[in-house]
Chain A
């Protein structure tokens, strides 16, 4: 593969658009966007009341927490890791939020986000300093995090009455829900982080070849630590926003299966699980695709179980396309 391939990878032939569709690399690169477009077109034509502002807004509001968590997950996966604890982190943030809201909005938010950072720091320590495999390291807080959250919240659902928090969940700016706006801004910020900052490029380098990165003097431990902390903070933020929308703190069920939704979004978005590449926009599209798919099927009166099967098919297709790319 490395033998004197001085010419660039086979150039796409714009003259024959159909030829491109046979190239697995094309799917890897643009497949997720094409799938989102296809779904939108399908719904515009065949689904009543789909392309309405109301419905689109609902879809976006629902997908926003997944996008936020998936952004952090994409960074972690870019280092050849995985973070199973994001759902529990959301619950932890949700449990802490009402406890400190009494001191005001800012202390409440800070404490909740700090909890996310602490979870991330624990994960980061286990992975980078102790050298545990990420799946095992984060499994600990996947299990324990929710337990701690329930202890903190006394196992109870708490109503949220702070108007500022509630505004976070329901408010909008120029017609765009705040939750969606926040997710959008974060996506742009993470994309900038990955593409343009030293830290971002170091994340990709560590994921691409850890021993090479380490020999090149990169602060591998610090990079891993930072990635897990970022992922934890993003998950905590998603927990706060989800709580605000629910108008209640529900640590027993908030964020369950979130880790799987986030991983799915990242994988469907074309970020390889073996690290070395992070597709931020793809991750956002991946989350959107899963959301739209489910909404489409539900709107056509298919049961949720069918939606799950369809989602499984998409995941397999995404993994298959990724495999094609690697063997190329």
Chain B
């Protein structure tokens, strides 16, 4: 197979050749216990097109990809390749059929050489039945040169940059006769230069009639290289069509499930109408928070008595910002000031001492300690304060636990029940209690109501309101746009790890938020183009 042309073309303008369908999912459904991951979703991929697959968390993108690549078998519906129904028992069979997947984490063998990786499992043999290294290295060099990547094929893969490793993965995919290449957020760890190379390679694939499924959250990239787009939301198919005919606003609103014409309703969430009275001097000021590939120059201030919303699409750096504020993310630059004093070394413990508490996004992985009781989970961070000479006072613990179980209405068989046995909403309340019993000044809430039932959701929202009313500074991250708008007094919007805009006062509304998210309206100068030039 000839290497793709390295010539850069403007792909979005050229129409894909022959519109034959290579890969198709018809009315596919996939259920997991308690979740419908895909609900009657159809998807078709034409030869030679680059097809964007977009959606927020839980939309079903990964499940759809896994169904197409043989990792999962659909509960209902069928997968077809060039019109024939196929049933892949294993991912390997999908690969054999010409579907290659490039994962976010490169799935190659890091300690083997570049050439060995590309020819893994199909090494050229000489007449003694041994590996013909000369030929292998020669062909690898030719193949990679075609991608504009010049590396020594003898080098172990792990000595290369992530971007180059991804090129090697791509080269392997193409050289095993791929007809479909699936790329899941390929640019998330690439440098701008590497992104350009990747785009050239994708353009080359198009020239060879290879179809690409491109998963990304970066609007700029989608519009640059994709022909068509399929939007999924909550496991359902929302839209498929030419990207050129779809403006960004429309695309974002479809992803988020907001109809632009929809009038803002009030009182659906547990937030009371009307804002809070914020104080004049900030409790917490962050300036220039920077971390490679994740955050660039994020600055914001939090005021007591105010809920600051942090908006942005998936991968925009919201959670990273919250973690940075809580001292849980090592930074390349930037500083935090709390109550007028600069925090010198950023650590979780230091941030907690300064009065900053973070309710993490992933409740299971970073929040609860499932094997410990409700009581122990609540007092976890407060333990040193409840101890004398290193011995924890049971009486003090019980008092705090009783107060918070009552105040937050935690439903458990008792304080000694294991947290792992509680419902999601009650686990979340236990975590809130863990932080509230420290009497923080700043409360950072990362998706506080995700995955909890409606009743608990309204309670948590009501609590956020109440806390801000009591003078706490609250940072609220939510993918639920309604929650964000009704809950927040002010919204800072992130895009590509940088601040893209800020909404305050009467500007806190859905259409304004969508505009900033979609990079539609002019935003404060100097901020927006940054996201375009840098991969993050």
Contacts and interface: CB of A to CB of B under 8 A. Distances in A.
Interface of A: 1-9, 196-199, 201-202, 204-205, 208-209, 211-219, 276-277
A211 B369 CA distance: 10
Nearest to B397: A201
B371 A215 contact: no
20 contacts: A1-B420, A2-B421, A3-B34, A3-B424, A5-B422, A6-B412, A6-B422, A6-B423, A196-B391, A196-B394, A197-B387, A198-B392, A201-B383, A209-B365, A209-B366, A209-B368, A216-B434, A217-B348, A217-B349, A276-B370
B326 interface: yes
Given A6-B412, A205-B380, A276-B372, A198 B326 contact: no
Contacts of A7: 413
B413 A8 contact: yes
Given A5-B422, A198-B384, A213 B391 contact: no
Given A4-B423, A5-B421, A197-B392, A215 B368 contact: no
B354 to A, nearest CB: 11
Contacts of A208: 369-372
B58 interface: no
A212 B423 contact: no
A1 B352 CA distance: 31
A203 to B, nearest CB: 12
Given A2-B422, A215-B367, 18 more contacts: A2-B421, A6-B411, A6-B412, A8-B413, A8-B417, A196-B394, A198-B391, A205-B376, A205-B380, A209-B365, A209-B366, A212-B367, A215-B326, A215-B358, A215-B360, A217-B349, A219-B349, A276-B369
Contacts of A199: 390
B71 interface: no
B294 interface: no
Nearest to B427: A2
A231 to B, nearest CB: 19
A147 B287 CA distance: 54
A218 B384 CA distance: 9
A213 B380 contact: yes
Interface residues of B, number: 42
Contacts of A214: 328, 348
B27 interface: no
B36 interface: no
A213 B383 contact: no
Interface string B32-68: 0010000000000000000000000000000000000
Contact of B380 (A6, A196, A197, A218): A218
Interface of B: 34, 326, 328, 348-349, 351-353, 358, 360, 365-372, 376, 380-381, 383-384, 387, 390-392, 394, 411-414, 417, 420-424, 426-427, 434, 453
A276 B380 CA distance: 13
A198 B366 contact: no
B348 A197 contact: no
Given A215-B360, A217-B348, A202 B368 contact: no
A90 B328 CA distance: 39
A215 B328 contact: yes
A214 B352 CA distance: 11
B421 A276 contact: no
Contacts of B423: 2-6
Given A1-B420, A6-B423, A197 B391 contact: yes
Contacts of A276: 369-372
A11 B390 CA distance: 34
A217 B381 contact: yes
Most buried by A among B372, B384, B426: B372
Contact of B370 (A197, A198, A209, A218): A209
Nearest to A195: B392
A276 B370 CA distance: 9
A209 B369 contact: yes
B171 to A, nearest CB: 33
B433 to A, nearest CB: 12
A217 B421 contact: no
B536 to A, nearest CB: 23
Contacts of A4: 423, 453
Contacts of B380: 205, 212-213, 216, 218
Q: Give 4 closest A-B pairs by Cβ, nearest first.
A: A208-B369, A217-B352, A217-B349, A4-B423
B390 A205 contact: no
A218 B434 CA distance: 13
Contacts of B348: 214-217
Contacts of B369: 204-205, 208-209, 212-213, 276
A59 to B, nearest CB: 33
A273 to B, nearest CB: 13
Contacts of B453: 4
Contacts of B413: 6-8
A17 B64 CA distance: 50
Contacts of A197: 387, 390-392
A211 B348 CA distance: 11
